[in-house]
Amino acid sequence: MSRPNSNRTNVASPRWVLPLAVAFALGTASIPARAETITVTIENLVFSPTDIEARVGDTVLWVNEDILAHTATAKGDWDVMIQPKKSASLVLKKAGRFDYFCRFHPNMKGHITVSP
Ligand SMILES: [Cu+2]
C-alpha cells in the first residue's frame, strides 16, 4: 500500500534534452552564416593592410611576422596581445570605426570600420 516513489514517476525527462536545446540555440545565434576572417599581417612594425572593413561577427586575425611582441589596442574597446611569430584573433562585436595601435610601439596604427 505504500508507494514511496510515486511522487517521482513523472520526472522522466532526460537530463540532456535542455542542454542540447540550449547548445543548438546558442550555436545558431552566435555563428552568422556570412562571418569572415580578415587577416592583418604585422611586418617591420606595420599593420598591413592598415585600414580594413568588417561586419559585426567577423574575426580579425593578426599575424605577427616580427620577432617583437605587438598589441592591437583600441582604447576602451579591446586589447589583443600578439606574440612574436604568432597570431591572435578577435571577434568584432560592436559596429563603429576603431582606431587601434600597438601599446609597445605607439607609431603602429591601424583602423577597422565595422558595419552592423
Ligand atoms: Cu608593436
| DSSP structural state of residue 18 | H
Q: What is the pLDDT of residue 20?
A: 53
Give pLDDT tens digits for 14-70.
Answer: 665 555 555 555 555 555 557 999 999 999 999 999 999 999 999 999 999 999 999
What is the C-alpha separation between 8 and 29, in angstroms, rounded? Answer: 35
* 94 C-alpha to ligand 1 centroid (Å): 24
The Å distance, Cα 110 to ligand 1 centre, comes to: 12
Q: Tell me the C-alpha distance between 31 and 23, whole Å.
A: 12
Specify the higher pLDDT residue, 74 or 2: 74
CA of 62 to the centre of ligand 1 (A): 12
Strands 51-55, 109-115: pairing is parallel
- CA 58 – ligand 1 centroid, Å: 23
Reported pTM: 0.71
Q: List domains and CATH numbers for the chain.
A: 34-115 (2.60.40.420)
Give me Rg for the CA atoms of the chain: 23
